[in-house]
Chains A and B, each alone.
Chain A
Amino acid sequence: MGKIKIATDWLAGCAGCHMSLLDIDERIVKLLEAVEFTSSPVTDLKHPPEEGVTVGILEGAISNTHNIEVARQMRERCQFLIAIGDCATFGGIVATRNLVGTQAALQRAYLESETTVDGCIPDSPELGVPLETVTGVDKVVHVDLFIPGCPPSADALFYALSELLAGRVPVVLPPELFRYD
């Protein structure tokens, strides 16, 4: 049997969840005997391969139109999608923006902040357009497994992957690995 392919990507997040993935440490060597990480934001190949992967992992919230595209692409190319971190599961820290409104947040960040000199709100066509409301990934695509935490612990991520490799689908993490912070 060939190795199980896993692709990861990030949306509006801070990379902390991916750091947690790397925190699996030496256990990743063992994991790599059974899986292949095809692509991720921290490898040369950034996008999930067209032929698809078994497991897709997404970090970060849905905050702009670009995030929606990335989330949809991952969904199309994977069989089982995991949302990792509070941003991907609930909107997380990015969703704080909802409480002030997108326009006000942009204005504050790019025009009014104490360190701004000649500020302008970026509007390059290459960039995604900010959405009015930040949400978790499941508001845009179907998610098969949620692993909350900011970031989730390496143990939580390792547990979920190990369960999947063993052919079990963890519906909810065990209590000691389930956390919101």
Chain B
Amino acid sequence: MTKRVNITINGQPVQARAGQTVLEAATEAGIQIPTLCHHPALEPIGACRICLIEISKFQPLHPACTYRVTEGLTVETHSPRVEKARRFVLELLFSERNHYCMYCPMSGDCELQDLGYMYGLDHWIYPTYTRPFPVDASREYFMMDHNRCVLCRRCVRACSELVANHTLGMRERGAKTMITADLDVPFGESSCVSCGTCLQVCPTGALVDKRSAFMGRNVQTQRTVTTCSQCSLGCGMEVVVRGSHILRLEGAWDAAPNGGLLCQKGRFDPLYDSRARLTRPRIRRNGGWEEVDWQTALATVAGRLANIAPDRLGVVTTGAATNEALYLLAKLAQDRWPAAHLGLWQQALPVRLQPQGMLTDLPVADLILLVGADPVADQPVASFLIKRAVDRGARLVIVDDPQNGLAPFAHQHFGRTQVGEAAQIAARADRPVVVYGAELTPEAAEALIGINGASFIPLEPGVNTRAAAALGFKPASLPTNVEALLLLLGEETPGAPPTGSRTANEVFTVVQASYVSPWTEQADVVLPMATWAERSGHLTNTEGRIQTVNAAIPPTGEARPDWQILSALAEHLGQKVPSSLEELSELAQSQITRS
């Protein structure tokens, strides 16, 4: 048990835990100390001096965010001396740079502004500020207005401590100090990987999201807690919505495995998708498309499938569907067509190495062996977590081509055939963690199993391929010897259909998808699907965590969530399936976790 320390805050006895800062102890005791540079996810540095506290009349004031509690400590958080100093600090902060809120995109959601309001700053004590700073809009998704920066260094700490990317730093001194990227290059040309973590922690209008600037304040928005559907990590995030318009995505601080982080793929790319949406069911008639209602579309599909022989149905899915949809798809096919092909349009892990580790094990690893995976490209937040472990002193050993995105951070790099040597090195570590992906060969797997005391973290190649594999979908190319094909593309458009594969009279093809693609163009029936933001359900992440997806906005047009389409289709086929999402989720989950 942690040692308890007795302190007194504003005359009130408080039990703190040994090692806590005064700020932490006060916050836990419900005593608010104003802060600016502090962020709970970052190491405190006491840079802004807003959280000053009085320890004794004879001592200078100390920042509460870095001052540790000791037995018998007496603290004043709002004494006249403290309040005077705090106001002075605040006036200095406002006197540097341009804090004219009326044309700032963050006005209303700015922590500096909140403090100005709290202390009733209604005019400048100091000379009006006149020195202009540059604005750097060279990054695609968000910009940096140095004029609004308070030099709290949250961005710098986030980039180093959380993302372990070390892009940001400071240059110049005093009032001229500026946040800078690498050796002072424009942000857009720097080593920045556009994860947006710095953007998320910035307390002011210095880092501003280009897409959602001036589009609505927090009080005008709704937040939906959900799971990112762009890769198999399933990072927890919040969708910030105004009306039915998504303003931006933010990493959820208390979510596993990401702890607040997102990457470019998860935070920005989904909001810049410009592919044409499918909004109404369509069927092919007389060589052309006809938009129909759901009833007609599903009846058409059910009618055609009714006569298909038990081994002549092919069902193929991408890894982008929910647990519920994958469960229904497998069930729908197998109940009626026991010999149906259940194909997965994606690589899968060739083996599962045991004991399985979790990404949260990475911080305690002293050696990380990466084999057959390139998380920088495929599961970026995992690459941040690995780099973080390397920063803390873990050795990184990679078995892959030299192009692997983590290669620059590796202590040792082996070619794919040298996995044995790498395994020997790993075996000498105290707490080795093997991170492996779909490129792992059976021979390599053999070599890895022998590593003493290792835990194995899989990196699934597709969003929900872990669930797909558990439900019986096997990586395969399109089955050719079938009469009907049911394709669940979701939001993915895997390449183009093999030319000439579709001759309308040969294979009856149903495509369930969100976007127009060569596949939907060649289909007989197209069922429009809701996207990641428009559907609820669950995803199984690469570690086997069942993550909840919550719809943040209504589906576009008549599109429907993946599992709703399949459950309606099952009904048309006369099959009994659970009608509520809860029931369905439970069935899907028990089958996924059982295998």
Contact = CB atoms under 8 A, between A and B. Distances in A.
Interface in A149-181: 150, 172-173, 175, 178-181
User: Looking at B107, B108, B116, B124, which has the most chain A CB atoms within 10 Å of its CB?
Assistant: B124
Contacts of A143: 123
Majority secondary structure of chain B interface residues (helix, strand, loop or mixed): loop
B132 A100 contact: yes
Contacts of A91: 100, 124, 128
Contacts of A99: 98, 130-132, 147
B102 interface: yes
B113 interface: yes
Interface in B78-122: 98, 100-104, 107-108, 113, 116-117, 120, 122
A180 B102 contact: yes
Nearest to B119: A172
A129 B218 CA distance: 43
Contacts of A178: 117, 120, 122
Contacts of B116: 180
B289 interface: no
A60 B331 CA distance: 71
Contact of B122 (A134, A139, A147): A147
A92 interface: yes
A40 interface: no
B117 A93 contact: no
A99 B147 CA distance: 10
A134 B116 CA distance: 21
A12 to B, nearest CB: 13
Nearest to B98: A99
Contacts of B132: 99-100
B122 A89 contact: yes
A86 B121 CA distance: 12
B100 A92 contact: yes
A146 B123 contact: yes
A133 interface: yes
Contacts of A139: 128
B495 to A, nearest CB: 48
A78 interface: no
A95 interface: yes
A133 B130 CA distance: 8
Given A98-B129, A133-B130, A139-B128, A146 B122 contact: yes
A73 B353 CA distance: 85
21 contacts: A86-B100, A89-B122, A90-B128, A91-B124, A96-B98, A98-B128, A99-B98, A99-B147, A133-B130, A136-B123, A138-B123, A146-B123, A173-B120, A173-B122, A178-B117, A178-B120, A180-B101, A180-B113, A180-B117, A181-B101, A181-B102
Interface of A: 83, 86, 89-93, 95-96, 98-100, 133-136, 138-139, 143, 146-148, 150, 172-173, 175, 178-181
Given A99-B130, A150-B102, 6 more contacts: A92-B100, A96-B100, A134-B128, A136-B128, A173-B120, A181-B101
